[in-house]
Amino acid sequence: MTETAYQKCINPDCGAQFDCGQSLFKCPECGELLDILYNWDKIEIQDKMSEFGRRWAGRDNRLDLSGVWRFRELLSFCEDWHKVSIGEGQTILQQNDAVARYVDMEAGRLHLQYEGLNPSGSFKDNGMTAAFSHAKMVGATASACASTGNTSASMALYAHSCGVKCTVFIGSGRIAFGKLSQAMDYGAQTIQILGDFDDCMKQVQDVCTQRGLYLLNSLNPFRLEGQKTIMYRIIEGLNWEVPDWIVVPGGNLGNSSAFGKAFFELKELGLIERIPRMAIINATGADTLTDLVNNKNLAWNNGKVDQAIIDDYYADLTARNFSPHTCASAIEISRPVNLKKCLRTIDICDGIVRAVTDEEIVDAKAIIGRHGLGCEPASAATIAGLKHLRQEGIIGGDERVACVLTGHLLKDPDKTVNYHKDNQGQFSNPPVEAPNDLDEILKLIK
């Protein structure tokens, strides 16, 4: 047990507390989400954020090398010897004036946070380093998850790096083979169940219970602690200044949940003076959050969220046999696990929610690819959403904005190839066929 941190149910009518040495992932008393909370008076914390930046000089220390554990006092739930790291979080905040022009922003005001530069190619590594540290702390020797995406890739990489066995459950429906290829290559046992993703989720939970496996699902609150550091690094990239806006894709809502918590804690600790606003961007084919917040007026309400609104909404989805559909597979989710924590972020950050079409996403993705480091479709929802918010006049052209690009371009190569080869959008850049003839080829060179 550590004295610095504990788990607490987010339901104010329950508020049950648990030791961090337990693997619970939801409140055993009421079933709500759990938070990791800190006894800040028992942690020696830097006086200002810039002191974390000094650790760049000590990169022979494995924890200082990590872009997550460099900020370890702000996620102090385990001892240093439990901390698992493979050098995650070496990511770049890039000022990008060309993409700024696309969304009608002034030069110098738009920044792209490239989380695709993590070891497994997505932001998930920020969370996995924290969750596997917790797994080591509780003595886990085997882990499992149900995912066909970035989670399974990241989990498999961290599992083998710290000697924990790893099983990935996949369904027989749509499978993101680009991402699954990583899980197989990293040595995860992959079990394909004759069923859909929901069937996998149920089976994996039962298997974990019976075999005592550590479950790396989206409910794991320790993952969100690691994801807080993405915000610390954005502030670091802005010379420790807070931007006006953070723009993030909305899928299972773990990132937005973690980001709001990060800013709330930094303000509470006096390490920042103000909290930025946040824009969370859904795809129109998976826009539960947008619908609930903008049309049904669902709100955090000091933790007393109107559960009936959510229940009615999900019952309607079931009655309609609705299944979400978007090219941005990483955010193709209609029942987001971290919904209530995200509502809290919207409250903390004066947040807003928008949905963008697949067409807008793939065009924005092509613009990012042409002028930046490239990203997977879900990441590009941020730029498509920002373009909307500029047109609406909600975000000013002179405001400072940081968009979180969550996954690497090569995570989903099929979408990219099809967009360009089949001329699917206004920025398609297809290959040109040429005869095997020098003069003809020379005529084609631009």
Q: Helix, strand or coil for residue 382?
A: helix
DSSP 376: -
Nearer to Zn ion, 8 or 388 (CB): 8
What single-letter amino acid sits at 347?
D
Q: Which of residues 213-252 bind Zn ion (CB under 5 A)?
A: none
Among 215, 238, 240, 190, smallest CA distance to 400 is for: 238
Q: How far apart are CA 224 and CA 345, in angstroms?
A: 13
Q: What is the DSSP string of 70-128?
A: GGGGGG-SS-GGG---SS----EEEE-HHHHHHTT--TT-EEEEEGGGSTTSBTHHHHH
Min separation Cβ 10 and Zn ion, Å: 8
Of the candidate spans 2-10, 38-46, 126-134, 362-370, the one that interacts with Zn ion by CB under 5 A turns out to be: 2-10
| Residue range at the interface with Zn ion (CB under 5 A); choices 1-9, 40-48, 55-63, 258-266 | 1-9
| CB-nearer residue toward Zn ion: 29 or 79 | 29
Strands 34-38 and 142-146, bridge-based pairing: unpaired
Task: Please give the Cα distance from 258 to 430 (Å, whole number).
Answer: 39
| Contact of 275 with 263, CB cutoff 8 Å | yes
Residue from 29, 51, 79, 198 that binds Zn ion (CB under 5 A)? 29
Nearer to Zn ion, 32 or 115 (CB): 32
Q: Which stretch binds Zn ion (CB under 5 A): 27-35, 114-122, 206-214, 323-331?
A: 27-35
Compute the least distance from the CB of residue 35 to Zn ion, in Å.
11
CA 143 – CA 128 distance, rounded (Å): 12
CB closer to Zn ion, 18 vs 427: 18
CA–chain centroid gap for 29, Å, is 28
Q: Considering only residues 12, 17, 22, 30, which one is a binding residue for Zn ion as defined by CB under 5 A?
A: 30
How many of the chain's residues bind Zn ion (CB under 5 A)?
A: 8
We find the least distance from the C-beta atom of residue 74 to Zn ion, in angstroms, to be 25
Nearest distance from residue 184's CB to Zn ion, in Å?
38
The residues that bridge with 144 in the sheet, in sequence order, are 167, 215
| Site residues (CB under 5 A) for Zn ion, limited to 6-25 | 9, 11, 14, 16
Q: How far is the CB of 256 from Zn ion (least distance, A)?
A: 22
3-state DSSP assignment of residue 251: coil
From 3-11, 102-110, 207-215, 331-339, give the range in contact with Zn ion by CB under 5 A. 3-11
Among 2, 4, 6, 27, binds Zn ion (CB under 5 A): 27
Helix (H, G, I), strand (E, B) or coil at 14: coil
Q: How far is the CB of 338 from Zn ion (least distance, A)?
A: 16
CB of 240 to Zn ion, least distance (A): 37
CA distances from 238 to 45, 53, 93, 350, 436 (A): 21, 12, 8, 21, 51
SS3 135: helix
Smallest separation (angstroms) from Zn ion to the CB of 63: 33
Q: Residue 352: in which H helix or E strand, if any?
A: strand 352-356
Backbone angles phi, psi at 335, to 5 degrees: -125, 75
Measured distance CA(402)–CA(382) in Å, rounded: 9
Choice between 14 and 191, CB closer to Zn ion: 14
Give the binding range for Zn ion (CB under 5 A) out of 29-37, 61-69, 108-116, 248-256. Answer: 29-37
Q: How far is the CB of 34 from Zn ion (least distance, A)?
A: 8
Task: Give the nearer residue to Zn ion in terms of CB position, either 29 or 268.
Answer: 29
The residue (of 31 and 173) whose beta carbon lies closer to Zn ion is 31
Q: Residues 81-120 vs Zn ion: string with x where CB under 5 A?
A: ----------------------------------------
* Residue 24 Cβ vs Zn ion, minimum distance, rounded to whole Å: 10
Sole binder of Zn ion in the list 2, 25, 32, 242 (CB under 5 A): 32
Contact 343, 309 (CB under 8 A): no
Are 359 and 377 in contact by the 8 Å Cβ rule? The answer is no
Q: What span, in angstroms and rounded, lies between the C-alpha atoms of 215 and 330?
A: 20
Q: Does 184 bind Zn ion (CB under 5 A)?
A: no
Contact residues: Zn ion, CB under 5 A: 9, 11, 14, 16, 27, 29-30, 32
